[in-house]
Amino acid sequence: GKAYGDAFYGPDDFDYQLGFRIGFSIAFVSALIEIVYIRNYRRSWIRRVAYLPGLVVRVLVLTLLIRLCIVGNQALSYWLGDLSAWQDFTFMNQMRDTLLSVLVVIAFIMVSQFTSIIGMRRFLHLVSGRYYRPAVEERIFMFVDLVDSSRLARRLGDLRFHDFLAEVFFQLDRASIGYSGEVVSYVGDAVIYTWPLREAAKRNRSCLKALRAMHRQMDMVADAFELEFGERPRLRAAIHAGPVVVGECGDSRRQVTFLGDAVNMTARLEALPKPLGVDYLISEHALERIELPGN
């Protein structure tokens, strides 16, 4: 802000308090819309349109809000007694300030949109080149899938089942996002999560806390699912841990992949809860490395 003010307004003319208020209000309003409405409400109309039209609409809405933030703060300065606030409020200054703000916000939105496709951690790994050369890591894996998905697909039909599954994944993501897990992929009716396996057993609790949060979240929304789809979703999960090779693969579409027996074993464990008559299963090897929460 100081560099911008010095360049276009001069170090003696720029009101840094006003600049701070404008910058803060633009950031606050933009983040509020992105996080509270667009990100937190899956069925918001702006999330139902394609990427490019959605981006255009967001830019137009944010441009209007940015203009309101700039004009509103200028008016506030004038109301507080700074009569010079309107002197610098020329058309060219307004357009330049608005354009710069819009470009910065668009850059953040595009990065945000891109990372929502591949995941923030995976994006950072690819940008930093962390796994450009394969590395061996110890990881916790959790496979979470939908109970009785074949029957649900037959009863609801493919399109309605997709809506059902998309809503399940959305709710799982909302529940698990605070527990440091990384989504590896969505495979059919299952989602695969991973966490680093730490030396301190207490630090490995996150996978169990995330699973508990998912269970509670699905209980909370079960009535809404039954009202809309006539079905209440139930989860099944398997957890295992062990060493894997982590590295980048692909060329036109690069991604970070996990290879090793730990992944294969977790997939095999995923098939066991049903014949055992349980919902959640953890391997002894993983349990030895995790200090259970008190509850």
Write out pLDDT tens, residues 122-169. Answer: 667 667 766 678 888 899 999 999 998 999 999 999 999 999 998 899
pLDDT of residue 48: 62
Cα 87–91–96 angle (5° rounding)?
105
What long-range pairs does 154-162 form, CB within 8 A, spacing at least 24? 155/231, 156/229, 156/231, 160/229
pTM, full prediction? 0.69
Percent of residues, the chain, with pLDDT higher than 70: 82
245: β partners: 136, 259
| Cα(87)–Cα(239) distance, integer angstroms | 64
pLDDT at 218 over 90: yes
pLDDT at 41 over 60: no
pLDDT of residue 89: 67
pLDDT at 54 over 60: yes
